[in-house]
Amino acid sequence: MQLEKKIVKDIMFLRLKSVPATKEDSAAAQDLADTLRANSERCVGLAANMIGVRKNIIIVQTQLAPIIMLNPRITAHSDKSYEAEEGCLSLEGTRKTLRYEKITVEYCDTAMKKHTGSFSGFTAQIIQHEIDHCNGKII
Q: Which residues are catalytic?
A: 130
* Alpha carbon distance 94, 44 (integer Å): 15
Count of residues for the chain? 139
N-term to C-term CA, the chain: 33
Give the residue among 66, 23, 52, 48 at the shortest CA–CA distance from 133: 48
Burial class (CB in 10 A: 0-12, 13-18, 19+), 109: middle
